[in-house]
Chains A and B, each alone.
Chain A
Amino acid sequence: MPDEIYELVAQGARYWFLFLMALIAWRSWRWYRRDRRQAKKRLKLLPDAGFVGEMVVLQGGKGLERGAVLPVPCEGTLGAARTNDLCVQAAGVEKRHLWFRYDEGRGLMVEPFGKNAVNVDGADFESRRDPLYMGHGSRLYVGEAELRLRMFAGFEAEGTAQRRSGVEDEPAQQQPPQPDAQQMAAYQQWMQQQWMMQQYAQQQAYQQGYQQAMAQQQSPQPELYEEPAPEDETDVYTYEEARAQGLVDDRAFMRPAGEKKPELPVYEQPLAEPAPQFYPPEMDAGWADEEYAWDEENEDEGMNGDEVMNGDEVPDAAEPPRSAYVGHDEAERAKRRVWDRYLGGGAR
């Protein structure tokens, strides 16, 4: 193209380029704004997004009520200042007291800033080489405050809190303790006993049943409709009512203000009964010593958190909410689905 004409065309084109540039900048800006709005909306839809659990305040302070629940993100700081992820305003808590991080498979790692004092389940923080981990139900003591962690389902951690030495980022592989020959023998003996007792009980039941049947055969009675007994409404208590009537002993997790920190039970393997030796220690084994006011029958299920809560159960502060755990395959499929539909989709 001759220079003359090219010059005219280029000079005309500069307005076109400027227009396109302005359009590009404007559209980018609009896109940016739109995405921010959507992100805000999405966060509103998902109030618990990004949290691994909750801290329940067992013992608060001036600005922190007892019984308050603080959501725990997977990383963050704890301190008295409002800008902390966990704002714990109690005597002895520094502005920035400690930081924590969720390590997959090992629980919530806790480390203080500087020389602040931190205690998890009776163990003091000593050095970085020996980090403190909190598991489901662990108690954290900072200053005058006492907090209990309850983790959401899906964020598995091994057992209760305890000190674990080791390198981070490589999941600790704790072998269950292998029984020695003596223990093995004792166990087998115990098993035999159990089996015999079971057999005995079955025989007893069978005999009882047989006798009853025989008795019924001897004196047959007409079948009558029996009015079911009205439900005893006084049996159903709310938690508060139960406490008021002294039916609940919540000393275990809620200490009245002013009372001193209770002596924690020393964690020991119950050697009296050999059976648990074979398995990793049960999640709440230590609590068995404390008095709990719930049904003996439901205890196990309650701890696993699988069953639906009954009205007459006392909600425990550290009990996890209903399971929201989704299997990996399902999550992967779900991810793609949502990605496609709601988040702009790679497929489109």
Chain B
Amino acid sequence: MKQLKLRFRVLTLLVIGLLFVAGAYGVYSVSAYGNRWVSSTRNTRYRSAKRSVSPGDIIDRNGVTVATTDENGQRVYQSNILSRSSLVHLLGDDEGNIANGVESFQANYLLGFETSLTERVNAFLKGETRKGDSIAITADSKLHTEIVQIFRNTSNTKGKCGAVAVMNYKTGEVLALVSLPVYDPQNITATIKNSTQHPFWNRAVQSTLPPGSTFKIITAVAMLENMADAQTHVFNCTGATQVMDQVITDYGNDQHGEITLEKAFRLSCNNCFAQAALLMGDSALRKTAENFGFNDNFLFRDLVVENSSYPTKDRNNFEIAWSGAGQSKVAATPLHLCMISAAIANDGVMMEPRLLSRVQSPAGVVRLRYSQKAYRTACSPETAKIIDGYMKTVVKSGTGTRAKVDGLTIAGKTGSAEGSANGLDVTHAWFTGYIDDDRYPYAVSVLVEAGGTGGSVAAPVAQKIFEYLRDNAAVY
């Protein structure tokens, strides 16, 4: 009996432990993923709530009202078609075609779910119609319009799909998240719905593509952290490194001969980084990549970002070598690449991207104010300084010279990632970089899907964005 009863205690602890874990898991998952579940476009609750509540306004960083509700209860966006189209992926439309746009992700504010009971009773006694809170976002409507125009006016990018992310690397404010093609949220036609370009897809945060050479930023950080002689080590680039009976080639089959890291970074030499990846080994490279947020579960407060991945399974030397050059199932979103160069610019500290700057109730009560938070420390300030120098030489005299802007120091890295679309091999053009200037602390990343090389397609787009920021951003 004594033994039996002692073991009963074990049983009870076990069962209660299970229930405790279930409860803790429930609380955790609701607090971490709750607003993601709720803001799902499939949630019918908000749709029914819209019948009785008029959703609040959305205001951009310059005070422009980008979304409001008219007297008939219809959701109205900016009057200019181009302006409202360029913001469509950030905000979402009334039909809920865009996943996790501000309209759905912040619906608990916009539809007044956070309104306290006293406020509601007051409003009811005064006979007012129910109105949701208004939201101020950090994005810039004009910048969005400009970016869409740049994409449309540049011959290389015209009609192509792509994405642009612009953020302040010191505070984490997101200035622009543009995904192309755009469409008019107030006139959704069947052509848009059936388009093969998938215009409802928010490419800036949802499409994970191989980052190509832009990933060499991370490989270089890993080399500096793991190889004592990283800056002086001489690699031999024959243009065709044999790995497991297969060959690593450079873009355009270049041969660079004996080069060091700096030159390899500047010329974006695949062979050099492949050899370095093999030298360091997979785990060292993966650790650095994970420091930069790969394989992490992004749970940002205002944005739902697809997780970036650095492969952990089925690794052989050929795969590892290509990983050093950002291929072989390594995948990241444009916003994440923007965050990576922002981390380099911000001395290795990666800021959490924020979109919400203020939430205000109809009666003027401020419910939420902007607060910045570091997301993670990606690398040491010294390493960031060295990489910063490399990235500047890329723009000065390397593959990214077309991103050069008069009067500003630009640092950047181009990328030409090989992927496939509709069964055809295509090259995605990448550029990620930032302005090294305290007046304009902005990081930019540009993706042009199936665009060609990063240096010739993505860099000019980035250049025009930098110029626009230089001319207009002083007012922020």
B121 touches A (CB below 8 Å): yes
Q: Please tell me if the beta carbons of A77 and B3 are within 8 angstroms of each other in the complex.
A: yes
Task: Provide the residues of chain B in CB contact with A313, threshold 8 Å.
Answer: none
Q: A1-34, CB under 8 A of B: which get 1 and which 0?
A: 0001000100110000000000000000000000
Q: Please tell me if the beta carbons of B124 and A4 are within 8 angstroms of each other in the complex.
A: yes
B1 touches A (CB below 8 Å): yes
Q: In the complex, A75 Cα to B121 Cα: how many Å?
A: 66
Q: In the complex, A83 Cα to B2 Cα: how many Å?
A: 6
Q: Please tell me if the beta carbons of A75 and B124 are within 8 angstroms of each other in the complex.
A: no
Q: Please tell me if the beta carbons of A76 and B1 are within 8 angstroms of each other in the complex.
A: yes
Q: In the complex, A77 Cα to B120 Cα: how many Å?
A: 67
Q: How distant is A95 from chain B, measured CB to nearest CB, in Å?
A: 10
Q: Please tell me if the beta carbons of B1 and A85 are within 8 angstroms of each other in the complex.
A: yes
Q: In the complex, A77 Cα to B5 Cα: how many Å?
A: 12
A84 touches B (CB below 8 Å): yes
Q: How distant is A34 from chain B, measured CB to nearest CB, in Å?
A: 19
Q: B1-29, CB under 8 A of A: which get 1 and which 0?
A: 11100100000000000000000000000
Within 8 A of B (CB), among A65-86: 73, 75-77, 83-85
The interface size bin for chain A is: 10 to 19
Residues of A contacting B: mostly: mixed
Q: In the complex, A84 Cα to B124 Cα: how many Å?
A: 70
Q: Do A75 and B1 form a contact, CB below 8 Å, given A4-B124, A8-B124, A11-B120?
A: yes
Task: Provide the residues of chain B in CB contact with A73, threshold 8 Å.
Answer: 1
B475 touches A (CB below 8 Å): no
Partner of B120, one of A8, A75, A84, A85: A8
Q: Please tell me if the beta carbons of A85 and B124 are within 8 angstroms of each other in the complex.
A: no
Residues of B contacting A: mostly: helix
Q: In the complex, A73 Cα to B6 Cα: how many Å?
A: 16
B117 touches A (CB below 8 Å): yes
Partner of B121, one of A8, A77, A84, A85: A8
Q: Please tell me if the beta carbons of A77 and B124 are within 8 angstroms of each other in the complex.
A: no
Residue ID in chain A nearest B2 by CB atoms: A85
Q: Please tell me if the beta carbons of A8 and B117 are within 8 angstroms of each other in the complex.
A: yes
Q: In the complex, A16 Cα to B121 Cα: how many Å?
A: 17
Q: Please tell me if the beta carbons of B2 and A76 are within 8 angstroms of each other in the complex.
A: yes
Q: How distant is A285 from chain B, measured CB to nearest CB, in Å?
A: 33
Q: B112-152, CB under 8 A of A: which get 1 and which 0?
A: 00000100110010000000000000000000000000000
Q: In the complex, A85 Cα to B1 Cα: how many Å?
A: 7
Residue ID in chain B nearest A82 by CB atoms: B2
Task: Provide the residues of chain B in CB contact with A96, threshold 8 Å.
Answer: 3
Q: Please tell me if the beta carbons of A77 and B117 are within 8 angstroms of each other in the complex.
A: no
Q: How distant is A87 from chain B, measured CB to nearest CB, in Å?
A: 9
Q: Please tell me if the beta carbons of B117 and A84 are within 8 angstroms of each other in the complex.
A: no
Q: In the complex, A85 Cα to B4 Cα: how many Å?
A: 10
Q: In the complex, A77 Cα to B124 Cα: how many Å?
A: 72
New contact pairs (14) apart from A75-B1, A83-B2, A85-B3, CB-CB < 8 Å: A8-B120, A8-B121, A8-B124, A11-B117, A12-B117, A73-B1, A77-B1, A77-B3, A83-B6, A84-B2, A84-B3, A85-B1, A85-B2, A96-B3
Give me the interface of B with A, judged by CB distance under 8 Å: 1-3, 6, 117, 120-121, 124
Give me the interface of A with B, judged by CB distance under 8 Å: 4, 8, 11-12, 73, 75-77, 83-85, 96
The 8 closest A-B pairs by CB, nearest first: A76-B1, A83-B3, A85-B2, A75-B1, A12-B117, A85-B1, A11-B117, A83-B2
Could you list 21 examples of A-B contacts with CB < 8 Å? Answer: A4-B124, A8-B117, A8-B120, A8-B121, A8-B124, A11-B117, A11-B120, A12-B117, A73-B1, A75-B1, A76-B1, A76-B2, A77-B1, A77-B2, A77-B3, A83-B2, A83-B3, A83-B6, A85-B1, A85-B3, A96-B3
